[in-house]
A and B are shown apart, each in its own frame.
Chain A
Amino acid sequence: MHRKSLVELAADLRAGACSSEELTRASLERIGRLDGRLNSFITVTEQQALDAARAADARLKAGDAGPLTGIPFAHKDIFCTRGVKTSCGSRMLDNFPAPYDATVTRKLLDAGAVMIGKTNMDEFAMGSSNETSFYGPVKNPWDEMRVPGGSSGGSAAAVAARLVPVSTGTDTGGSIRQPAALCGITGIKPTYGRVSRYGMIAFASSLDQGGSFACSAEDAAIMLGAMAGFDERDSTSVDRPVDDYQATLNAPLQGLKIGLPKEYFGEGLDAAVGSAVETALDEYRKLGAELVEISLPNAQLAVPAYYVVAPAECSSNLSRFDGVRFGYRAADPKDLADLYTRSRGEGFGAEVKRRILIGAYALSAGYYDAYYLKAQQIRRLIREDFLKAFEQVDVIMGPTAPSTAFKLGEKADDPVSMYLSDIYTIAANLAGLPAMSIPAGFVEGLPVGLHLIGNYFAEGRLLNAGHQYQQVTDWHRQIPQGFE
């Protein structure tokens, strides 16, 4: 069953070939048997999942089922789920059963999807390797000595290991696409504002965006379609109808103009990864697409700008964790200042603290203009680069990450080198553009991701391009050894 796609499973459910309860039990069984090696789940919600599966079976029987009804999914532990621990990968929220549902949670549950559990992640989504989690690192199913990428490492590993067919993720600087690339699956981050952020624990509000993981673009499209949509509880949510992503999957790519930013193929890119990407691009050429070299002149400024904007926003967003109304509270505080500093000092891990400190510094008196304002100006330049490029091309492609999955611990002591794992993905967040990673081959047994960036609200175009590529390749069907 775990080899089947979401589309196939949905068909089986409708045909009565299997029940949601069977699917759910199968998923739970695989998690029980295999996840000890991966650590991709923080919480497995077995009873809740079985209840939901039975309800889904009833809906299926009643003919009241959508494409996700009865489908098990794994939910990143950043989305609030009422009554279920929502830890955000942090000790700070280890004792936090969310008192309400995120909009995305509500939408998926209302669609009849069966939440199997909450997945491991970098603490407060800050990391590119899943090593900053309070619950320990997630292992890459392709090589358990290596990282799955981050921050949505658990959601990516769980899908790559076929523990669940689909999962949710969030992406602030590459947190869906980079782990998708490192784990050999499909992951899409839509346009900023397309998926509601309500109930998605904030890291950097102007960059955070929810999205989906699946084995194929088609499955990711179905999942995203269920997550997306206007939400009146989110001021930054966009009030426009969600495109039918499935409807456009089969459009031919003849004449599609693909832009290849020369800045994404230069220094810093692993040569073998580069040639795997070239091969994938050849495939697009064969599909009738036209490849054009373009330039994004400010591309190299994306990471430094991001490491001002994201920490600045996070330093403020994370101030609410003070030990008073929820979350970790230091024992026996001697006074108010002690309650604050110890609850936060003991509740947050090192990377979160680093970013809070950088952010507080960048916003502090005397530095605001030099750092925060400057970074926001650069942000506009980066956005303008893209707008100019999209006058010329339909989709921008390149590598998702500069290398394949690195070893656990390899970059843990060097924040800046870790930050550079997101060198190709961050710009899309700064500009708010939709972007996706799809499997595009292997280097020494490790997956390589192809990165696709689209114009605003061109998710359908990206999924179409991904789907067409997956019709002529089978990278996305590869299953890591030991998880077949």
Chain B
Amino acid sequence: MMEWETVIGLEIHTQLATNSKIFSGASTTYGAAPNTQACAVDLGMPGVLPVLNAEVVRMAAKFGLATHSTVAPRSVFARKNYFYPDLPKGYQISQFELPIVHGGWLDIELEEGVSKRIGITRAHLEEDAGKSLHEDFHGMTGIDLNRAGTPLLEIVSEPDMRSAKEAVAYMKKIHALVRYLGISDGNMQEGSFRCDANVSVRPKGQQELGTRSELKNINSFRFVEQAINYEVERQIMVIEGGGAVVQETRLYDPGKQETRPMRSKEEANDYRYFPDPDLLPVEIDAAFIEAVRAGLPELPDAKKQRFVEQHGLSEYDAAVLTATRELADYYEAAVTASGGQGKLAANWVMGELSGALNRDDCDITNSPVSAQGLGELLQRINDGTVSGKLAKQVFEAMWNGEGSADAVIESKGLKQISDVSAIEGIIDEVLAGSPKQIEQYRAGQGKLLGYFVGQVMKATQGKANPGQVNELLKKKLDG
């Protein structure tokens, strides 16, 4: 049986989070009534002309700097000519020969301690197309051009990925990055972040690439993985069955979990690219680049490293906590509010908080327990006001909107008993009721210490400081 190697390259389309479109002053807000956000320029009315949005240039430059790419001092918009109803002008304004960003990379983490570098061939600016609505209008298709002209950054990777898992890790990394940079909302349901996957297989050890198929318009991490896995199996089956893979565009059908050829893209296109004569070359000088660089936020990899060093986290915890900017921001705010409890905060954010968010299908930006609130709770754990165990009850109550950590501790009487005489009093009571056990303990059954601790905790409803209980018990028993 032959061993196969999978080769994957991704083209990720990410909508840039501008107010207005790339070449017009129409709004980019999602979800407006059809064609109410398509101005004369977006509609390709006779005589209209494009003017480039400054913000998209800045955003592309940010992405370039964040991926160790070259931000081109001169880039050119070209026309990609083809006819399609959602493409009003009969051409898409894109970048072809001279993209604004090229030649970069980023590292993806495969497992603890193992990372892989993925090359970024280029990232270019272009306009999005409108949408075809296939609901039946008496056998017609409806065209909504609100999305037409929304700025896109198309990020093209090298064919460096060798499995669907790597492809997903890369896609997640890019997703986190564009959100860190604040250049895209990354909303996959709304189509702000979607990808095409170029997939091929070749016998292991072969240099030459196999014939690839292009899987179009996949808008979830899960689907990317499923589509690639299906496609790899399909290609291997075709080849092992004596056939040959055809270079074609395929569509992933999540319902059937299979890919199929796209009918509309069947014929080989001749896009007749040429520089758009309505637009001039975009020139970016060093001062502009330096200004963009100065405004860059801390990037995921740097943040991760800092979390390890500053908060004493493991590589793994740091990677989890920096996976999204929102999570990282929450974590750091909680650390600050807790008075610097980095490790404790990590445990809580990754434990209780993540669990509750998952359970209630809630986003961290809408968490009922704020970072400030969690930080205060962590402080109470740290200063001994509440035990780590009871803190979980406090957290639940906070999650349910029952008030701040202090208020909950107070109202539910969960304050830890750390007063030596009070604990001693309870210990004396417990010991007085357990003469038999004392005998056994003193006869050498040291394990019974746990029994006494349990009894004391039970008597205090868990509120006694367990450390103190231990210490005082030992003193009395071993006395």
- Interface positions of A (Cβ within 8 A of B): 79-80, 86, 88, 93, 96, 98-100, 102, 197-202, 204-206, 232-236, 312-313, 315-316, 318-322, 324-327, 336, 340, 360, 363-365, 368, 372
Partner of A202, one of B43, B47, B51, B91: B47
Q: Which residues of A sit under 8 angstroms from B51, Cβ to Cβ? A: 232-235
Provide the B75-90 mask, 1 if CB < 8 A to any CB of A, else 0: 0000101010100111
Q: Which residue of A lies closest to B44 (CB)?
A: A320
Residues of B within 8 Å of A, CB-based: how many? 28
Given contacts A205-B277, A319-B81, A363-B81, contact A80 B47 (CB under 8 A): yes
Q: A99-B40, A360-B272 are in contact. Are A206 and B49 (CB under 8 A)?
A: no
Taking the nearest CB of chain A, how far is it from the CB of B225, in angstroms? 34
Complex contacts, B143 vs chain A, CB 8 Å: 324
CB-CB under 8 A from B90, the residues of chain A are 316, 318-320, 322
CB-CB under 8 A from B238, the residues of chain A are: none
B472 close to chain A: CB less than 8 A: no
Do A235 and B278 touch across chains, with their CB atoms under 8 A apart? yes
Q: Is the CB–CB distance between A316 and B50 below 8 Å?
A: no
Q: Is the CB of A100 within 8 A of B52?
A: no
Say yes or no for B270: interface residue by CB 8 A criterion.
yes
B270 touches A365 (CB 8 A): yes
Is B65 an interface residue, CB under 8 A from the partner?
no
Inter-chain contact B49/A100, CB cutoff 8 Å: no
Are A324 and B85 in contact (CB-based, < 8 A)? yes
- CB nearest neighbor in B for A340: B83
Query: Which of A80, A234, A364 touches B270 (beta carbons < 8 Å)?
Result: A364
What CA separation (Å) do A66 and B85 show in the bound complex? 46
Within 8 Å CB of A98, what residues of B? 45-47
- Residues of chain A with a CB closer than 8 A to B50's CB: 235
Point out the residues of chain A lying under 8 angstroms from B46, CB to CB: 80, 86, 88, 93, 96, 98, 201-202, 320-321, 326-327
Separation of A464 and B45 alpha carbons in the complex (Å): 38
Docked complex: B71-130 residues within 8 A CB-CB of A? 79, 81, 83, 85, 88-91
Q: Does B188 contact A (CB under 8 A)?
A: no
A198 touches B85 (CB 8 A): no
B279 at the interface (CB under 8 A from A): yes
B280 at the interface (CB under 8 A from A): yes
Residues in A whose Cβ lies below 8 Å from that of B362: none
Identity of the chain B residue whose Cβ is nearest the Cβ of A206 in the assembled complex? B277
Query: A198: which B residues are within 8 A, CB to CB?
Result: 47-49
A318 to B90, CA, bound (A): 8
Q: Is the interface of B mostly helix, strand, loop or mixed?
A: loop
Residues of A near B274 (CB, < 8 A) are: 312, 316, 363, 368, 372
For the complex, what is the distance from the CA of A202 to the CA of B49, rounded to whole Å?
9
As a 0/1 sequence over residues 34 to 57 of chain B, the CB contacts with chain A under 8 angstroms (1 = contact) are: 000000100111111111100000
B136 to chain A, nearest CB (A): 15
Closest to B23 in A: A235
A201 to B270, CA, bound (A): 26
Evaluate whether A319 and B89 lie within 8 angstroms (CB atoms) in the complex, with A324-B143, A363-B274 already known.
yes
Interface hub of B45, B85, B270, B277 (most chain A Cβ within 10 A): B277
22 contacts between A and B (CB under 8 A): A80-B45, A86-B46, A88-B46, A93-B46, A98-B45, A98-B46, A197-B47, A197-B49, A198-B48, A202-B46, A232-B51, A235-B49, A235-B279, A316-B91, A319-B81, A320-B89, A325-B43, A325-B88, A326-B45, A360-B272, A365-B272, A368-B272
Known: A93-B46, A197-B49, A320-B90. 7 other contacts (CB 8 A): A102-B47, A236-B277, A236-B278, A318-B90, A322-B83, A368-B272, A372-B274
In the complex, A236→B50 CA distance in Å? 10
The reply to whether B270 and A99 contact each other, CB–CB distance below 8 Å, is no
Could you say which residues of chain B place their CB within 8 Å of the CB of A321? 46
- Contact at B47–A316, with CB atoms within 8 Å? no
Q: Is the CB of B81 within 8 A of A100?
A: no
Distance in Å from the Cβ of A356 to the closest Cβ of chain B? 11
- Alpha-carbon distance A199/B81, docked complex (angstroms): 22
* A339 nearest in chain B by CB position: B85
How far apart are A203's CB and chain B's nearest CB, in angstroms?
11
